[in-house]
Amino acid sequence: MVDVTDATFEAEILFRSDELPVVVDLWAPWCGPCRTLGPIIEKVVDETEGQVVLAKVNTDESPGISQLFDVQGIPAVHAVHKRKVV
């Protein structure tokens, strides 16, 4: 799992997606459903034993990434592979 910010988006999500699928979990600390869903996503990604990367994005701290994914509400989860949302 990697915490991603607007500044690290390109390296942590786009470039990594060239090698492995990246699950992007967009969340905020005040969001109850986010706090419920987050550990479930973490567990499922851990079970892939390194075949999938989990990128956690705090939408309060990184609003630019939310705009890129056109997030209308959270939690929001996207998968990126080969630099494309799949």
The predicted-structure confidence for 7-60, as pLDDT tens digits, reads as follows: 999 999 999 999 999 999 999 999 999 999 999 999 999 999 999 999 999 999
Average pLDDT over residues 57-81: 96
Residue 77 · residue 31 · CB < 8 Å: no
Catalytic residue among 28, 31, 71, 77: 31
Known catalytic membership, residue 84:
no
This prediction's pTM: 0.95
Residue 47: in which H helix or E strand, if any? Answer: none
Residue 70's pLDDT is 95
Residue 25's pLDDT is 98
Residue 77's pLDDT is 98
Known catalytic membership, residue 42:
no
Catalytic residue among 4, 24, 34, 53: 34
